[in-house]
Structure 1
Amino acid sequence: MQADATVIRGRGELLAAVDIRLATGGGVALHGPAGIGKTAVLDAVAATASARGELVLRLRPVRTERSLPYAAIADLVSQLPEEAAAALPPAQRAALHALRQGLPPRGGTAALVRRLVLPLLLAHCARRRSVLLVVDDAQWLDAESAEMIGFAMRRRPGPKVRVLAAQRRPDPAGKRRAARLCPAPVLELAVPPLAADDLTALLEARGLPCRIASRMHEASAGNPFLALALGGAVAPGPAWRPAGVPEAARELLRDRLHALPAEVTTTLLVAALATEPTTTVLRRAGRDDASRDLRLATAAGIVELAGEAIRFTPPLLAQILAEESGAADRSAAHTALAAGAVEPLEALRHEALRTARPDAAVARSLAAAAGRCAERGAGRTAAELYLLAADRCPHTLAAHRLDWLVVAARTALTGGASALAGRAAEAVIAADAPAGHRVRARLVLLDLAGQGIAEMGEMFAAALAEAGDDPALIAPIRLRLTWAAFVTGDPDRATAEAGRSVDAARRAGDPTTEAMALSLIAQVQRLRGEPRWAETLRQALELPATPAPDWLHYGPRYMAARFAMMDDRLEEAREGLLKLLVVAEHDRIGEARVEVLRSLSEVATRAGRCRDALQYAHRAVEAAQHAGLSPGPTWYTAAVAELAGGSLAAAAGFARRGVRASEQEGDSLFLRRNLHALGQAELRAGDTRAGVAALRRLRDLEAESGGADPMIVRWHGDLAGGLAALGEHAEAAATLAEARAAAQRLGNTPATLGYLDRATAVVLSESGQADSAVVLSAAAAQHFEQLHQPIEQAHSLLVQGGAERRRRRYAAARMAISAALAIFLASDAKPWAEQTERALARTEGNSAPGTPPLELGLTSTELRIAGLVRDGASNREIATQLYLSVKTVEATLTRVYRKLGVRSRTQLLSRLQSMEVPEITTSV
Structure 2
Amino acid sequence: MGRTRLITSVTARVLEGQAVAIHGPRGMGRSTFLAAVTAGVPHAISVRLQRRGVPGHGVSVVAAAFPQATLDELPDRMRSLLLDPRTLPATDPAERLGYALTELLTAQAATAPFVLVLDDAQHLDAVSLAALRAAASRSLGPGAFGALVAIGPAEVDPTTGHPRTVTARELSLLHVELQPFAAADTVELLAADDVPTDTALWAHRESGGNPGLAREIAAAVDGLPPEEAARQLGSLARTRVHELTEPVRATLQRVAAMHQPTTATLQRIGGETAVASVRAARALGLVVTEDEYLRLTPEALGDVLLESVDSDELVALHRELAEHADSEGLTRYHLALAGDTGTTPADLAAAATGCAARGEHDLAAQLYLLAADAGTPERDEWLTLCLENAVIGKETRVLHRATRAAADLTEPSLSVRAKLALVELGDSAPDEILVAALYESREDPTLQARVLLQRARLLAGSNDLRSAMDSAGRAVELARRAGRTDIEVDALTVGAAVGRTLGDPDARRLMEEAAALAGDPRPGQVHTSARYIAARFSLHDDDLRRARAAFVDMLADVGPDAGYDTVHVLRSLVEVVARQGRGREALELAGRATRAATHFDTPVATTWFIEEIAESVGGTFERTRVVSSRGVELARRERDQRYLRRHLAHLGLALLHLDDLEGAVGVYRELRRLDADSGIRDLTSVRWHTDAVTALVLGGEIDEAEGLLAEVRAGLEDGLGAPGVAAAADRAAAEIAAARGDLDTARTLATRSIAAAEEHRLPIELARSLVTLAHIERRARRGGRSREAAARAREVLRPLHAVPWAEWVNARFPEGAALHTLEVEEPEGAADPLGDLTLTEQQVAGLVAEGASNREIAQRLHLSVKTVEGSLTRIYRKIGVRSRTQLATLVLGHGPR
TM range (shorter): 0.7 to 0.9
CA pair 310-753 structure 1, distance change in 2 beyond 3 A = closer
> Does the alignment pair 1:418 with 2:402?
no
Contact kept, 8 Å, 1:522 with 1:534, in 2: the verdict is: yes
Give 2:878's aligned residue. Answer: 892
What is the deviation of 1:855?
A: 9.8
AA in 2 matched with 1:764? A
Matches within 5 A, 1:567-646: 567-585=541-559, 588-590=562-564, 592-646=565-619
Say whether 1:537 aligns with 2:511. Answer: yes
Would you say the 8 A contact 2:797–2:805 is kept in 1?
A: yes
2:450 maps to 476
Q: Supply the AA of the counterpart residue of 1:463.
A: A
1:227 and 2:201 matched: no
Which one of the candidate residues 353, 359, 371 is aligned to 1:389?
371
Structure 2 counterpart of 1:731: 704
* Among 381, 388, 394, the residue aligned to 1:403: 381
Q: Distance in 1 between matches of 2:642 and 2:591?
A: 21
Question: Match of 1:410, as an amino acid?
Answer: E
Matched to 2:257, the amino acid is L
2:582 and 2:186 map into 1 onto residues whose CA distance is 30
Letter of the 2:648 partner, please give it. L
Contact kept, 8 Å, 1:798 with 1:816, in 2: the verdict is yes
Name the SS of the counterpart of 1:549 in structure 2.
coil
Match for 2:639: what amino acid? G
Aligned partner of 1:76 in structure 2 is none
- 177, 180, 195: which one pairs with 2:181? 195
Structure 1 residues 866 and 448: CA distance shift in structure 2, 3 A: same
Q: Which residue of 1 aligns with 2:415?
A: 438
Task: Give the counterpart of 2:245 among 236, 261, 285.
Answer: 261
Structure 1 position 706 matched with structure 2 position 686: no
Query: 1:741, CA displacement in angstroms?
Result: 1.7
Would the aligned equivalents of 1:418 and 1:589 in 2 still touch at CA under 8 Å?
Answer: no
CA displacement 1:467-507 (0-9 Å, x = unmatched) = 23312112122112112211222112212222222222222
Whole-Å separation in 1 of the counterparts to 2:597 and 2:783: 48
Which structure 2 segments of 5+ residues have no match? 16-21, 41-119, 121-149, 163-174, 827-831, 854-864
Q: In the alignment, does 2:352 pair up with 1:370? A: yes
Alignment-derived partner of residue 88 in structure 2: none
Q: C-alpha distance in 1, partners of 2:291/2:776? A: 58
What amino acid sits opposite 1:791 in the alignment?
Answer: I
SS of the aligned residue for 1:710 comes to: coil
Amino acid at match of 2:417: R
Contact 1:36 1:223 in 2 (8 A): yes
Residue in structure 2 matched with residue 549 of structure 1 by the alignment: 523
Deviations 1:29-83 (A, max 9, x none): x9998866799999999x99xxxxxxxxxxxxxxxxxxxxxxxxxxxxxxxxxxx
Distance 1:307 1:657 in 2: 26
TM-superposed deviation, 1:760: 0.9
Equivalent runs, 1:406-805 vs 2, <5 Å: 406-414=384-392, 416-420=393-397, 422-423=399-400, 425-449=402-426, 455-585=429-559, 588-590=562-564, 592-746=565-719, 748=721, 752-805=725-778
Deviation at 1:757, TM superposition (A): 0.9
Residue 913 of structure 1 and its aligned partner are, at CA, apart by: 5.8
Deviations 1:332-378 (A, max 9, x none): 3234445666877655433321359xx79633443344344445554
Q: Which has the larger radius of gyration?
A: 1
| 2:26–2:284 contact (8 Å) kept in structure 1 | no
Q: 1:503 to 1:424 in 2, by over 3 A?
A: farther
Offset, 1:383: 3.0
1:405 is displaced (CA, Å) by: 1.9
Amino acid at match of 2:421: V
| 1:32–1:38 CA contact under 8 A, matched in 2 | yes
The alpha-carbon deviation at position 421 of structure 1 amounts to 5.5
SS in 2 for 1:727: coil
- Indicate if the aligned counterparts of 2:628 and 2:647 stay in contact, CA closer than 8 A: yes
- Relative to structure 1, the CA distance from residue 589 to residue 287 in structure 2 (aligned partners, 3 Å threshold; closer, same or farther) is closer
- Relative to structure 1, the CA distance from residue 329 to residue 32 in structure 2 (aligned partners, 3 Å threshold; closer, same or farther) is farther
Matches within 5 A, 1:196-345: 196=182, 197-205=184-192, 213-214=200-201, 216-224=203-211, 226-228=213-215, 246-262=230-246, 264-275=248-259, 290=274, 302=286, 312=296, 316-338=300-322
With over 3 angstroms needed to count, the CA separation of the structure-2 counterparts of 1:198 and 1:713, relative to structure 1, is closer
Would the alpha carbon gap of residues 500 and 639 (structure 1) be closer, same or farther in structure 2, given more than 3 Å must change?
same
CA contact (8 A) 1:373 1:381 kept: yes
State the 1:825 CA deviation: 0.9
Structure 2 vs 1, CA of residues 620 and 236 (structure 1 numbering), >3 Å: closer, same or farther?
A: farther
Counterparts of 2:327 and 2:877 in 1: how far apart (Å)? 82
- CA distance 1:916–1:814, shift in 2 (3 Å): closer
- Deviation, structure 1 residue 530: 2.6
Does the CA-based 8 Å contact 2:359-2:561 persist in structure 1? Answer: no
In the superposition, relative to structure 1, how do residues 570 and 454 fare at CA in structure 2: closer, same or farther (>3 Å)? farther
1:533-562, Cα deviation, whole Å (9 max, x unpaired): 222323323324554233333333322222
Q: Per-residue displacement from partner, 1:567-599 (whole Å, max 9, x unpaired)?
A: 222223223333333344477232x33222222
Aligned residue pair count: 775
Please give the root-mean-square deviation of Cα atoms over the aligned residues, in Å. 5.5
Between 325-334 and 300-309, report the one with greater CA deviation: 300-309
Aligned to 1:142: none
User: Any gaps of 5 or more consecutive residues in structure 1?
Assistant: 1-5, 21-29, 49-136, 138-164, 177-188, 898-903, 919-924
Secondary structure of the corresponding residue to residue 525 of structure 2: helix
* Paired position in structure 1 for 2:838: 859
Aligned-partner residue type, residue 259 of structure 1: E
Code of the residue aligned with 1:723 in structure 2: it is: L
How many angstroms apart in 2 are the aligned matches of 1:634 and 1:205?
Answer: 21
Identity of aligned residues (%): 34
Query: Counterparts of 2:734 and 2:577 in 1: how far apart (Å)?
Result: 26
Cα pair 2:632 2:644 within 8 Å, conserved: yes
For 2:112, the equivalent position in structure 1 comes to none
Cα distance between partner residues in 1 of 2:694 and 2:407: 58
Change (3 A) 1:41 1:753: closer
- The equivalences for 1:793-872 within 5 A come to 793-837=766-810, 838-839=812-813, 840-841=815-816, 845-846=823-824, 858-860=837-839, 862-863=841-842, 866=845
Cα 1:327–1:34, aligned 2, differ >3 Å: closer, same or farther? farther
Report the AA paired with residue 363 of structure 2. T
Contact 2:542 2:722 in 1 (8 A): no
Distance 2:753 2:439 in 1: 56
Relative to structure 1, the CA distance from residue 677 to residue 854 in structure 2 (aligned partners, 3 Å threshold; closer, same or farther) is farther
User: How far apart are residue 775 of structure 1 and its match?
Assistant: 1.3
Is the contact made by 1:515 and 1:545 (CA closer than 8 Å) also made in structure 2? no
Amino acid in the other structure paired with 2:433 = M
Structure 1 distance, partners of 2:805, 2:209, is 33
Find the aligned partners of 1:37 and 1:615 in 2 and give their Cα distance.
23
User: Scaled by the length of structure 2, what TM-score is found?
Assistant: 0.72
Shift of 1:782: 0.8
Q: For the residues of structure 2 that align with 1:306 and 1:746, how far apart are their CA atoms?
A: 43
User: 2:624, 2:654 within 8 Å by CA — same for their partners in 1?
Assistant: yes
C-alpha distance 583-233 of structure 1, shift in aligned 2 (>3 A)? farther
8 Å contact 2:7–2:33 — kept in the other structure?
Answer: no
Deviation for aligned residue 1:781: 0.7
CA distance in 2 between counterparts of 1:9 and 1:829 reads: 17
Distance in 1 between the 2:802 and 2:424 partners?
38
- TM-score, scaled relative to structure 1: 0.70
Cα distance change of structure 1 residues 501 and 324 upon mapping to structure 2, 3 Å threshold: farther
